[in-house]
Amino acid sequence: MMSEDAGRMLVMYDDPSDQRSLSLDETSSTEESPDETRLSLETTADSVPYIGQRFATHDAAYEFYSEYAKRCGFSIRRHRTEGKDGVGKGLTRRYFVCHRAGNTPVKTLNDSKPQRNRKSSRCGCQAYLRISKVTDLGPAEWRVTGFVNHHNHELLEPNQVRFLPAYRTISDADKNRILMFAKTGISVQQMMRLMELEKCVEPGYLPFTEKDVRNLLQSFRKSDQEDESIDLLRMCRNNKDKDPNFKFEYTLDSNNRLDNIAWSYASSVQSYEIYGDAVVFDTTHRLTAFDTPLGIWVGVNNYGMPCFFGCVLLREENSRSFSWALKAFLGFMNGKAPQTILTDQNMCLKEAIAIEMASTKHALCIWMIVAKFPSWFNAVLGERYNEWKAEFYRLYNLESIEDFELGWSDMVDFFGLHANRHITNLSALRTLWALPYLRSHFFAGMTTTGHSKAINSFIQRFLSAQTRLAQFVEQVAVAVDFKDQAAEQQTMQQNLQNICLKTGAPMESHAASVLTPFAFSKLQEQLVLAAHYASFQMDDGFLVRHHTKLEGGRKVYWVPREGIISCSCHQFEFSGILCRHALRVLSTGNCFQIPDRYLPLRWRRISTSPAKLLQSTSSDHTERIQVLQSMVSTLVTESAKSKERLDIATEQVSILLSRIREQPVASQGARDISPIHRNL
């Protein structure tokens, strides 16, 4: 509170011809006496306001006082305006006060509305500047008639005052620069660093903060949302006109505004026909440019690389929206549901999958769960966190459901986690994430850490940019096309590599001639390990265990005449690659080739005889694509063996490619991909 001396200073700095109450909460007005005051000299940059100082306009007075306040360590705001009663001269007096003047009004509580419990900076500060309009001596001007410079709070240092809202301004030039940066995809933090370098200021000394930039971008998005939606639909329709096999579907809300939209590219639909048996539906991201939930369908091709299937933007994350998204996706893929689908721990999505994909096995992505462990358990377990995490992974990788159940119970007891809500939730959902419950279902290896990193890296490629919404469709297409090209290059490189046979077994050389290098490397690991196992024939099959073990083992069932073999570890069902136990039994039984059914089509580099290409019809479109891929792969391998071969191949392929481009896109032999049910 102010001292008595400060109170006396209030009177000393007031124009005696303009006495009035100093209470800033008072709304009454007193009439000013137009007594003469001394004329002001030209003000300098470091001048202090004084009684009688004159300004051409009240805005000029405000700017002067604002600059003075900034140098002193506070900011100001316009407080009260007054006019002479009954005279009709309009505005005659203005008050500019310290930003901490006045007191916070008491809010009336409303149970139906959430209250924002923010602490106010107002503390009843009495510092102010009063100006009055004078017209008696010629042209109208504004004169300082009251000035109080005593504050009941500490003033800020120069390096702190710039953080006050009044001084955190973004110029039009800086706004344009920020929006340009946003379109290039860089983060807000990177924008700040670039602008500091451009303006040659020290880090943190821009006239605005990261929060101000984020608010600017948010306001920009809100103001352009409807235009963005229109542009997005226009972009999708244009893509549909250019490529009839581009697919998209959308819904509108009650105000005829875009609600949800999903799309897929022709190349994605073709990839799904071959590799759509196992799918990741990632809904953990938001599209920054539109501040809306984003869902992405991704799979893995025969070379172990991520392949894109589709995208969806949703207004809300609820069961109804997810059901619509799944229906749209199935429509794109001609009604073919995946065998398995991996998602985040989203209960609304879980309900939608149970309805729309009833025959699909739903599981939770373990890497999305593990990513939350530090925030869930670090503080709870402290130094025991790493020990608990190691035990969790041990239980996760078990093969027996019974062993998992017993181990989980012991783990909860040992670490005292009975009351932990995250452990309770994980336990309730264990059939959706623990491998002992999932091993009999095919997931194409996408539960491994390596695949999760590859998929996340692929998704981040088109999530990093904060582009306009309409550009996002093209941006994803570029990322997908880039990934397709990268996959082709890697395929060529892998095919040119000499595969190293490690066991010398006929099964190994047979598998090397059929599987892609990626899939063969996985099978080769099992073949090498199979040599360390012993097999014992039992009445109902074979018992296979490591040669150093005297107990345990896996049960393998083999029917040679029918070419059927299965193992209790379920590795083939889970990954499409035969396990070491089954391979050991095949080797013991003098089997020199792996049965055809255990070299799955999705892992092969050669799926069928090239001669079938001439006999195929539109019903075996998938196989024809794989045949062509195999022929191209063989062409590259053979051509690369000499310069002469490469020259001939290059010349002939160029001629063939020119002829193909002359043909219409929708040729008679191509698969007729049905259009989406909305006529666009």
Full DSSP string of 158-187: HHHHTTSGGG----HHHHHHHHHHHHHT--
Please report the sign of the dihedral spanned by the C-alpha atoms of residue 225, residue 228, residue 230, residue 232.
negative
Phi and psi torsions of 434, nearest 5°: -75, 130
Contact 332, 312 (CB under 8 A): no
How confident is the model at residue 3, as a pLDDT? Answer: 42
Evaluate if residue 133 carries a pLDDT over 70. yes
How confident is the model at residue 255, as a pLDDT? Answer: 79
DSSP state of 206: S
Contact 439, 570 (CB under 8 A): yes
| Share of residues in the chain with pLDDT > 90 (%) | 38
Q: Write the DSSP assignment of 461-486 as a string of letters.
A: HHHS----HHHHHHHHHHHHHHHHHH
Q: What is the tens place of the pLDDT at every residue in 537-553?
A: 998 899 999 999 988 89
243-365+433-479: CATH architecture? 2-Layer Sandwich (3.30)
How confident is the model at residue 468, as a pLDDT? Answer: 60
Identity at 604, one-letter amino acid code = R
Residue 255, beta-bridge partner list: none
Phi and psi torsions of 664, nearest 5°: -65, 155
Contact 537, 589 (CB under 8 A): no
Give the pLDDT band of residue 507 (cuts 50, 70, 90). Answer: very high
* Domain boundaries, given as residue ranges, for the chain: 53-102+121-167, 172-222, 243-365+433-479, 506-603
Q: What's CA 16's distance to the chain center, in Å?
A: 65
Name which of 550, 617, 618, 556 is nearest 583 in CA terms: 556
Sheet holding 247-252, edge to edge: 247-252, 258-264, 306-313, 292-300, 278-287, 340-343, 361-364
Contact 77, 125 (CB under 8 A): no
Interstrand relation of 340-343 and 361-364 (parallel, antiparallel or unpaired): parallel
Contact 457, 175 (CB under 8 A): no
| Choice among 103-112, 421-430, 479-488 with the minimum mean pLDDT | 479-488
Residue 305 burial by Cβ neighbours in a 10 Å radius (0-12, 13-18, 19+): buried
Looking at per-residue pLDDT, the higher value among 357 and 36 belongs to 357
Looking at per-residue pLDDT, the higher value among 450 and 324 belongs to 324
Evaluate if residue 107 carries a pLDDT over 70. no
Q: What is the tens place of the pLDDT at every residue in 171-215?
A: 888 888 887 787 666 778 888 888 888 888 887 778 888 888 888
Looking at per-residue pLDDT, the higher value among 103 and 507 belongs to 507
Looking at per-residue pLDDT, the higher value among 554 and 485 belongs to 554
Q: What's CA 386's distance to the chain center, in Å?
A: 28
Give the pLDDT band of residue 670 (cuts 50, 70, 90). Answer: very low
Give the pLDDT band of residue 98 (cuts 50, 70, 90). Answer: very high
Q: Which residue's structure tokens are 């088109």?
A: 462
CB count in 10 Å sphere of residue 256: 7
How confident is the model at residue 608, as a pLDDT? Answer: 38
Name which of 308, 629, 271 is nearest 480 in CA terms: 308
- Report the distance separating Cα 362 and Cα 360, nearest Å: 6
Q: How far is CA 203 from CA 159, 169, 206, 302, 426, in A?
A: 12, 17, 8, 48, 44
Give the pLDDT band of residue 150 (cuts 50, 70, 90). Answer: confident
CB count in 10 Å sphere of residue 86: 6
Please give the biggest Cα pair distance in the chain. Answer: 120
Identity at 186, one-letter amino acid code = I
- Report the distance separating Cα 351 and Cα 322, nearest Å: 9
Evaluate if residue 2 carries a pLDDT over 70. no
Looking at per-residue pLDDT, the higher value among 498 and 588 belongs to 588
53-59 own/partner pairs: CB under 8 Å, 24+ apart: 53/143, 53/144, 54/134, 54/141, 54/142, 54/143, 54/144, 55/131, 55/141, 55/142, 55/143, 56/141, 56/142, 57/142, 58/91, 58/94, 58/131, 58/133, 58/142
Give the pLDDT band of residue 669 (cuts 50, 70, 90). Answer: very low
Q: What is the tens place of the pLDDT at every residue in 7-61?
A: 433 333 455 444 443 455 443 333 343 333 333 334 444 578 999 898 988 889 9
Give the pLDDT band of residue 128 (cuts 50, 70, 90). Answer: very high
Cite the beta strand spans of 330-411 per DSSP E.
Answer: 340-343, 361-364
Q: What's CA 233's distance to the chain center, in Å?
A: 22
Q: What is the tens place of the pLDDT at every residue in 222-269?
A: 555 555 677 778 888 888 888 888 999 999 888 788 889 999 998 899
User: Model-level pTM?
Assistant: 0.60
Looking at per-residue pLDDT, the higher value among 137 and 437 belongs to 437
Most confident of 196-205, 469-478, 599-608: 196-205
Phi and psi torsions of 258, nearest 5°: -60, 130
Give mean pLDDT, residues 616-636. Answer: 57
Looking at per-residue pLDDT, the higher value among 573 and 290 belongs to 573
Residue 557, beta-bridge partner list: 566
How confident is the model at residue 289, as a pLDDT? Answer: 58
What lies within 8 Å, CB to CB, of 426 at 6+ separation is: 369, 433
Name which of 283, 317, 321, 281 is nearest 297 in CA terms: 281
Q: What is the mean pLDDT of the chain?
A: 79
Contact 295, 312 (CB under 8 A): yes
How confident is the model at residue 611, as a pLDDT? Answer: 37
Residue 527 burial by Cβ neighbours in a 10 Å radius (0-12, 13-18, 19+): buried
Give the pLDDT band of residue 493 (cuts 50, 70, 90). Answer: low
Contact 124, 103 (CB under 8 A): yes
Identity at 420, one-letter amino acid code = N
Angle at 438 between CA 432 and CA 440, to 5 degrees: 150
- Report the distance separating Cα 419 and Cα 175, nearest Å: 51
Looking at per-residue pLDDT, the higher value among 19 and 426 belongs to 426
Contact 102, 24 (CB under 8 A): yes
Evaluate if residue 628 carries a pLDDT over 60. yes
How confident is the model at residue 474, as a pLDDT? Answer: 72
